[in-house]
Structure 1
Amino acid sequence: MKYTNFIFSNSFRLFSILLMGIMLSAGENLYAQATDIVTYAAPEGAKLNDTYSVMVRQNNGDWQLVPSYNVMVDEVAGTNHNVRNCSMAYFDFAGTVDVKVIYNKGTVDKAQVRPLSYDIKHSVNGNEITFQLDCSQNLSIEVNGDIFNNLQLFANPIDTYRPTSKDLKRLKKDSNYIYFAPGYHKIDRLTVGTNQTVYVSGGAIVDGEIVVDHADNAKVLGRGMIYPYRKKGLIVSHSSNVKIDGIFTTQTTVSDSHDVSLNNVKVMSYYGWGDGFNVFSSTNVAYTHVFARTSDDCSSIYASRGEHHGGCRNIMMEDAVLWADVAHPFTVGLHGDAKRPDTIEDLFYKNVDVLDMKEKQIDYQGVFAIIAGDNNTVRNVTFENIRIENFREGKLFDIRVANNKKYCAAPGLAIENINFNNISYNGDRAELSLIIGYNESRKVKGVHFKNLVINGEVIYDKMPGKPGWYKTSDMASIFIGEHVEDVTFEK
């Protein structure tokens, strides 16, 4: 099927947009499908990167070319931030697919396909890397140790939301359905209202922000890119029953909202304060099968801040890959309203791979950073089945009731019932971890480690080789400071 673009003005609110029509064009190849593979041609005006050529096939059929886009990441050298070019490619498939990555800049002396826990077997022949996939994966392919000029490859499931030509004939009459056809779309801000759906097709780039605002039952779907370069691409504010699925963007923020799901969403940023998945003052937010490579925190959960008011409850992230070029993979609790204490509670993270972190500032180093400020209480947080690769700089755990005077008007009130189950770290760069309360009335209570594995060794009270006069935390390089109660280590 081949479509021309719907026509949009460059700056608008969603409720005022009318679909202008659908036209069939026999000469325009917008996507290709063979068996159970869908690839999408790059639109005119897209910034491409020729470092890698990506090809896919099934059943020993013909190879199909997958476009490699140029995206940007942040390399910190010393205290300087340097913008680096990186490659990104995506396709959809079902079943099993062969992938060939050709490195166009020289010979491949060594290659990695990460996350390492996926154990994807690959072969190298000259400048070619080949491997197979049998399920949707968000991957980093790295040649000769280069983690910046790498390839971020997003192997998506088949898009079940993509409209057929018959669907589009019907939907062009529906002002609540907004379709971005394959192509380059420059906008300022698109505001999504109640009962409205935005579909960004594979092969489409939306250069601008999409904002779900004061809406109920809204959706942003597709395989395309919402890529405004130096801004948040997707914002959900004061809304409920929102579904985001399949999109690649720069940042997402969920604030003052409830019942929001983000599935198969990929974010990459390179600029200052480029957080990935932000949550403010929201309830019932679920992230599944997501990817973040960011120039600030990958996943952050806060209470009141600015125009956002209230705590957070019932936030879940499952099946994720996180890469913090700066700051934290996970951070919880710093921001709130010191005059109206908030609670952040019932958070659950499961099955996550942390690929990297680099942060020199001591206050912002933890892979797991639970730092209560602004009279916030943080409680009932569980991390389960988290695998951490050898990051460049930072610490594993930073759990503190603290008064960060740069960002907070008061210290936090409490941190309670934090659970780490099946956490593994393989590496040699982790600095001293911290668990510290603030005073006798602002404590950390109940931090429980079960099956904490560091470089293959389980850390628990009766572990072999631990001198009797050592604290178990010493074996994990964790400092347990004042005003902390009930820290346990179990096998």
Structure 2
Amino acid sequence: MVRNCFFRTQDDYIAIKGLAEMTRPCENIVVEDCEFWTDVANIFRIGYECETAGMRNITARNIDVLHYSKDYRDPTHYWANAIIWLQPNQNLLMENCHFEKLRVRSSGEDIIMLMAKPMRCSYGPFKDPEPGTLRNCSFQDIAVHGEEGSFRGLIYMLGDSEQHNVSGMSFERVTYFGQPVLQESPCVEMGPFVSDVRFGQ
């Protein structure tokens, strides 16, 4: 549990990992009622450098993002930056990650809002790793406010294969500057091996 905190960091903010041949899953984690500021990296980066058996039941709610990285990088970049980056690797299953009541203050600079992308993350002894699988995640009451500028807020979902896919992504009441984000919105991009994606107002 992380509650009632203000943090300012240079690197990734909430980075959930399972290192050193960890056999237990990372599960039942709650982050709530916090204010976050990162200078050059990600607000949430979950699944990178991970050897755990699985990740599940992760909840973040009532979060204010006061500042995010101004160093925009394309979602195909290995070191892209995002508000929320879900990147299961090492063949793990990541499931039931829920984000609700997130308020993002835009500086007018662009940032990726969501990266839902199983990845091959090479580090340490893992030179040819398998990606993981991502399923059953929800994003509710996500609001961007402040200066519109060049903000796009890409929502990017991409599976790796039929086995390492993305499924069951639910979006409810996501708004940018008061306007709803829907599946047909230009900021939403879905690649291969992505299924069961739902948007609602």
TM-score (normalizing by structure 1): 0.37
Matched with 1:294 is 9
Distance 1:431 1:318 in 2: 22
Matched with 1:448 is 170
Give the SS at the match of 2:131: coil
Change in CA separation of 1:476 and 1:290 when aligned onto 2, cut-off 3 Å: farther
Residues 101-138 of structure 1: CA deviation (Å, up to 9, x unaligned): xxxxxxxxxxxxxxxxxxxxxxxxxxxxxxxxxxxxxx
Matched with 1:435 is 157
Q: Does 1:326 align with 2:21?
A: no
Distance 2:41 2:2 in 1: 20
Q: Does 1:346 align with 2:62?
A: no
CA RMSD of aligned residues (A): 1.9
Given that residues 371 and 401 in structure 1 are in contact (C-alpha distance below 8 angstroms), is that contact kept between their aligned partners in structure 2? yes
Given residue 330 of structure 1, which amino acid in structure 2 is its aligned partner? F
Given residue 487 of structure 1, which amino acid in structure 2 is its aligned partner? V
Change in CA separation of 1:431 and 1:422 when aligned onto 2, cut-off 3 Å: closer
Give the SS at the match of 2:59: strand
Segments of structure 1 that go 5 or more residues without pairing to the other structure are 1-285, 461-471
Given residue 323 of structure 1, which amino acid in structure 2 is its aligned partner? W
Distance 1:351 1:302 in 2: 22
Change in CA separation of 1:397 and 1:476 when aligned onto 2, cut-off 3 Å: farther
Given that residues 96 and 135 in structure 2 are in contact (C-alpha distance below 8 angstroms), is that contact kept between their aligned partners in structure 1? yes
Given that residues 366 and 433 in structure 1 are in contact (C-alpha distance below 8 angstroms), is that contact kept between their aligned partners in structure 2? no
Change in CA separation of 1:321 and 1:476 when aligned onto 2, cut-off 3 Å: farther
Distance 1:477 1:312 in 2: 31
How far did residue 309 of structure 1 move? 4.2
Given residue 404 of structure 1, which amino acid in structure 2 is its aligned partner? C
Given residue 437 of structure 1, which amino acid in structure 2 is its aligned partner? G
How far did residue 387 of structure 1 move? 0.4
Matched with 1:415 is 134
Bigger RCO of structures 1 and 2 (CA < 8 A, at least 6 apart): 2
Q: Residue 397 of structure 1: which of 101, 114, 119 is its match?
A: 114
Distance 1:327 1:313 in 2: 24
How far did residue 402 of structure 1 move? 1.2
Distance 1:424 1:455 in 2: 7
Given that residues 377 and 412 in structure 1 are in contact (C-alpha distance below 8 angstroms), is that contact kept between their aligned partners in structure 2? no
Matched with 1:485 is 195
Given that residues 357 and 393 in structure 1 are in contact (C-alpha distance below 8 angstroms), is that contact kept between their aligned partners in structure 2? no
Give the SS at the match of 1:382: strand
Given residue 483 of structure 1, which amino acid in structure 2 is its aligned partner? F
Give the SS at the match of 1:430: coil
Given that residues 448 and 487 in structure 1 are in contact (C-alpha distance below 8 angstroms), is that contact kept between their aligned partners in structure 2? yes
Distance 1:316 1:444 in 2: 22
Given residue 41 of structure 2, which amino acid in structure 1 is its aligned partner? A
- Give the alignment of 1:34-433 within 5 angstroms: 286-303=1-18, 305-306=19-20, 308-337=22-51, 342-358=53-69, 359-361=71-73, 362-363=77-78, 364-391=80-107, 392-406=109-123, 409-426=128-145, 427=148, 428-430=150-152, 432-433=154-155
Residues 391-416 of structure 1: CA deviation (Å, up to 9, x unaligned): 54421111101113357542332101
How far did residue 431 of structure 1 move? 5.2
How far did residue 373 of structure 1 move? 1.1
Hey, which of these two has a bigger chunk of helix by percent?
1
Distance 1:476 1:287 in 2: 34
Matched with 1:279 is none
Change in CA separation of 1:430 and 1:355 when aligned onto 2, cut-off 3 Å: farther
User: How much identity, in percent, do the aligned residues show?
Assistant: 22
Residues 36-82 of structure 1: CA deviation (Å, up to 9, x unaligned): xxxxxxxxxxxxxxxxxxxxxxxxxxxxxxxxxxxxxxxxxxxxxxx
Given that residues 22 and 53 in structure 2 are in contact (C-alpha distance below 8 angstroms), is that contact kept between their aligned partners in structure 1? no
Deviates most, 311-320 or 326-335: 326-335
Distance 2:122 2:62 in 1: 34
How many residues are aligned here? 190
Segments of structure 2 that go 5 or more residues without pairing to the other structure are none
Distance 1:354 1:287 in 2: 15
Residues 397-439 of structure 1: CA deviation (Å, up to 9, x unaligned): 1110111335754233210111001001133323533100010
TM-score (normalizing by structure 2): 0.86
Residues 137-157 of structure 1: CA deviation (Å, up to 9, x unaligned): xxxxxxxxxxxxxxxxxxxxx
